[in-house]
């Protein structure tokens, strides 16, 4: 093929619910295009796209994968994505560089939850969309039911371009509603024919759907259609193309990825009406603090957007990028506008699964991989040094599930920090935090599978073994009444003596009041220079744990009297006196346990609001209010003890059938109900 031009590039991403057939469809496309000599099967791990051992073992995609191939004089950059909600970050990254999303929907299961979630995401990013109704060869497949489902959820712009010919085991072709032609498949060979007579009635009905789906994109045309005018094929095709580009018309085609049936037609359609990078409105960038739009100009300044990095233990980082302006050449030097590091782009290559072929130039709109950048992560921009614009980074989903992690052996521990660092570079939806109060390292991610796979990768890629443990809650304690006590430190038998006495009064402060120390010593009962030592002794005890063994907060301590010895008193003695006195006073001041309480915002479809609220009640939650969210959803705002939310990501998924989402943030500390205190203390002893 001659040098590729932007007009002939198609960046498409396959998205949808897990199991709908995305990876199989991608493999079928590669096969059809002659890039592989058989269709890879997810069952036996023979796919080109799911190349990670973790993916092959599970038979499902865990990260996005890029395959580049040619189809009828076009270059197709195909991105296959995982359908599991734990890996939604991958979908978000892919949608940022795709010029069209192809939703793969199973004709057996219909529109499933993840499909809806991703549709919403694509809508938000204004990505053009089309639908491939797959698995029409399977038992209980129904195109009409799936189409109704699509129209109901995604509106009038859903435009069926094809109808299946035959169904289930007799499915063998598709009828093109625009051209009135049938395309029949026999063992991979395609022939053309008239549409069978018995399909006429259905064809008419669905044809109306098609015309309606297309004309919605053009108000004037829509009016003419409603007034009874017959819209010409030419006009329909023109409106269809424009409607796809501005994401108001969503063509629906059908087929079977395993067949393969009509996969070639899908590719044809992508080339004929799918937007090329220069059809899109261009990217918004920030230049010198101001938002501007960079037109997709093949002769513009070179600008590349990195949407994915892969940490390879041998090669180092491999970054996938899309050129959003100008041309990027091998050996160019561009600046990373986040890290300000100048990156030299040697080793640019195109990709098919994990296979790489070197290239020397990447034109506008094209996607390629580059190895060994020094400080570049997913979501970064590479720009000319004198024009360091920034493409807004990818909005990664926040972690929702956390797990405590500990290195398995000392050798693992030595390598852990570095390996985790590399893992986090590769996956921006992972987060690592250290809780100094509970002395625990915690890893956050988007679900159980996400965390498990990440730790498997840590082992496989970097040879670091890690065990998981429950997340420890940062309990604290405080007092609820005032009390006084004497703290006396005396050691005067033999050698140099130690002597110090401090009389302390403790009083509760408001939540969040912290620690107040009042020096009420008069007449030199404790010499001035030793008073800070008393305070220090108290502060140390507060930090290391009070009567119940947890850090003490929200107390005022008044040191109102004391005794000293002119020779034996020293700083150490008064520090000890502070410690002892504080502890003794707290014991008499009705100590209570405090727990962190989070502010939770849960968004679910309205009909699930009752279930979610009932569940929050059972978690000792207090609903603060509700809000109507767009798309018939409700947001419930509540405060809930953090201890009750440790597995909320998993539980909400099952309560809401995967439709719910939530954010959580620390809010305040509150007293633990007495009936739970013993249980918590017993668990801490273990």
For ligand GDP, give the closer residue by CB, 130 or 664: 130
Residues 245-284 within binding reach of ligand GDP (CB under 6 A): 256-258
Is 392 an interacting residue with respect to ligand GDP (CB under 6 A)? no
Is 209 an interacting residue with respect to ligand GDP (CB under 6 A)? no
φ and ψ at residue 269, rounded to 5 degrees: -60, -45
CB 118 to ligand GDP: min, Å: 12
Distance CA(533)–CA(470), nearest Å, equals: 38
Q: In 3D, which of 89, 132, 91 has the Cα closest to residue 111?
A: 132
- The binder of ligand GDP chosen from 109, 137, 366, 554 (CB under 6 A): 137
Residues 6 or more apart from 296 whose CB is under 8 A from it? Answer: 6, 277, 278, 280, 282, 283, 324, 325, 364, 365
CB 83 to ligand GDP: min, Å: 5
- The binder of ligand GDP chosen from 60, 449, 608, 634 (CB under 6 A): 60
Q: DSSP labels for 177-215?
A: TTTTEEEEEETTEEEEEEPPGGGHHHHHHHHHHHHHHHH
Distance CA(489)–CA(169), nearest Å, equals: 89
For ligand GDP, give the closer residue by CB, 141 or 175: 141
- The binder of ligand GDP chosen from 61, 115, 454, 478 (CB under 6 A): 61
Part of the chain binding ligand GDP (CB under 6 A), chosen from 20-28, 169-177, 288-296, 442-450: 20-28
Distance CA(481)–CA(487), nearest Å, equals: 19
Is 43 an interacting residue with respect to ligand GDP (CB under 6 A)? yes
Q: In 3D, which of 281, 285, 287 has the Cα closest to residue 304?
A: 285
For ligand GDP, give the closer residue by CB, 19 or 277: 19
- The binder of ligand GDP chosen from 8, 10, 22, 151 (CB under 6 A): 22
> Is there a contact between 510 and 554 (Cβ–Cβ < 8 Å)?
yes
Is 21 an interacting residue with respect to ligand GDP (CB under 6 A)? yes
Is 19 an interacting residue with respect to ligand GDP (CB under 6 A)? yes
> Is there a contact between 530 and 574 (Cβ–Cβ < 8 Å)?
yes
> Is there a contact between 591 and 547 (Cβ–Cβ < 8 Å)?
yes
CB 47 to ligand GDP: min, Å: 8
For ligand GDP, give the closer residue by CB, 29 or 645: 29
Binding residue count for ligand GDP, defined by CB under 6 A: 21
State the residue number with the nearest CB to ligand GDP.
21
Distance CA(82)–CA(545), nearest Å, equals: 46
For 643-663, letters b (16+ CB in 10 Å) and e give bbbeebbeebbebbebbbbbe
Distance CA(289)–CA(298), nearest Å, equals: 25
CA 222 to chain centre: 39
Is 63 an interacting residue with respect to ligand GDP (CB under 6 A)? no
- The binder of ligand GDP chosen from 6, 40, 83, 274 (CB under 6 A): 83
CB 41 to ligand GDP: min, Å: 6
φ and ψ at residue 394, rounded to 5 degrees: -70, 135
- The binder of ligand GDP chosen from 32, 96, 129, 135 (CB under 6 A): 135
- The binder of ligand GDP chosen from 12, 13, 29, 42 (CB under 6 A): 42
For ligand GDP, give the closer residue by CB, 169 or 374: 169
CB 158 to ligand GDP: min, Å: 20
Is 166 an interacting residue with respect to ligand GDP (CB under 6 A)? no
For ligand GDP, give the closer residue by CB, 138 or 422: 138
Distance CA(539)–CA(575), nearest Å, equals: 10
Binding positions for ligand GDP, rule: CB under 6 A: 16, 18-24, 42-43, 60-61, 83, 104, 134-135, 137-138, 256-258
């Amino acid at each position: 093929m001659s040098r590729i031009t932007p007009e002939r590039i198609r960046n498409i991403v396959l998205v949808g619910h897990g199991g709908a057939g995305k990876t199989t469809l991608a493999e079928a496309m590669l096969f059809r295009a002659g890039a592989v000599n058989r269709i890879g099967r997810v069952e036996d791990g023979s796919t080109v796209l799911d190349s990670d051992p973790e993916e092959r073992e599970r038979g499902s995609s865990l990260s996005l994968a890029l395959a580049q191939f040619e189809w009828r004089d076009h270059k197709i950059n195909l991105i296959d994505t995982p359908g599991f909600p734990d890996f939604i970050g991958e979908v978000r990254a892919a949608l940022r560089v795709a010029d069209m999303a192809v939703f793969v929907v199973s004709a057996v299961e219909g529109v499933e939850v993840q499909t809806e979630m991703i549709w919403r995401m694509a809508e938000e990013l204004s990505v053009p969309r089309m639908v491939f109704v797959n698995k029409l060869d399977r038992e209980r497949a129904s195109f009409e039911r799936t189409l109704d489902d699509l129209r109901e959820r995604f509106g009038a712009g859903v435009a069926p371009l094809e109808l299946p010919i035959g169904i289930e085991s007799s499915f063998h072709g598709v009828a093109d509603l625009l051209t009135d032609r049938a395309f029949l498949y026999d063992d991979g060979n395609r022939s053309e024919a008239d549409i069978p007579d018995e399909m006429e009635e259905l064809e008419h009905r669905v044809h109306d759907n098609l015309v309606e789906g297309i004309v919605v994109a053009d108000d004037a045309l829509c009016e003419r259609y409603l007034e009874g005018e017959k819209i010409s094929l030419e006009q329909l095709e023109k409106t269809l193309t424009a409607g796809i580009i501005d994401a108001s018309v969503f063509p629906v085609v059908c087929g079977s990825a395993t067949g393969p049936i009509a996969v070639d037609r899908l590719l044809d359609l992508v080339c004929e009406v799918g937007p090329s990078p220069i059809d899109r409105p261009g990217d918004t960038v920030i230049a010198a603090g101001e938002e501007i739009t960079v037109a997709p100009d093949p002769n513009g300044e070179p600008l590349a957007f990195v949407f994915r990095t892969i940490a390879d233990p041998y090669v180092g980082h491999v970054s996938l990028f899309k050129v959003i302006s100008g041309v990027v050449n091998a050996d160019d030097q561009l600046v990373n506008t986040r890290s300000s590091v100048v990156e030299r782009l040697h080793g640019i290559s195109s990709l098919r699964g994990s296979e790489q072929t070197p290239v020397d130039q990447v034109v506008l709109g094209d996607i390629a991989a580059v190895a060994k950048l020094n400080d570049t992560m997913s979501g970064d921009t590479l720009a000319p040094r004198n024009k360091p614009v920034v493409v807004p980074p990818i909005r990664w989903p926040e972690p929702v599930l956390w797990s405590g992690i500990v290195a398995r052996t000392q050798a693992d521990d030595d390598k852990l920090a570095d390996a985790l660092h590399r893992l986090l570079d590769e996956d921006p939806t992972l987060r690592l935090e250290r809780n100094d109060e509970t002395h625990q390292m915690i890893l956050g991610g988007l679900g159980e599978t996400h965390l498990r796979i990440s730790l498997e990768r840590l082992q496989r890629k970097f040879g670091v073994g890690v065990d998981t443990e429950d997340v420890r809650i940062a309990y604290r304690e405080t007092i609820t009444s005032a009390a006084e006590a004497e703290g006396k430190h005396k050691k005067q038998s033999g050698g140099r003596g130690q002597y110090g006495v401090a009389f302390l009064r403790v009083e509760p402060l408001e939540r969040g009041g912290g620690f107040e120390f009042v020096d009420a010593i008069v007449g030199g009962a404790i010499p001035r220079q030793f008073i800070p030592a008393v305070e220090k002794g108290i502060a140390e005890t507060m930090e290391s744990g009070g009567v119940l063994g947890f850090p003490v907060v929200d107390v005022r301590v008044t040191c109102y009297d004391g005794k000293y010895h002119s020779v034996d008193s020293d700083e150490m003695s008064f520090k000890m006196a502070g410690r002892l006195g504080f502890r003794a006073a707290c014991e008499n001041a009705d100590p209570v346990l405090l727990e962190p309480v989070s502010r939770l915002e849960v968004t679910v479809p309205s009909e699930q609001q009752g279930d979610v609220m009932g569940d929050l009640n059972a978690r000792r939650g207090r609903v603060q209010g509700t809000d109507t969210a767009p798309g018939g959803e409700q947001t419930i705002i509540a405060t809930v003890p953090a201890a009750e939310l440790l597995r909320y990501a998993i539980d909400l998924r099952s309560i809401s059938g995967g439709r719910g989402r939530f954010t959580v943030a620390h809010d305040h500390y509150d007293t633990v109900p007495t009936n739970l205190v013993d249980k918590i203390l017993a668990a801490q002893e273990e």
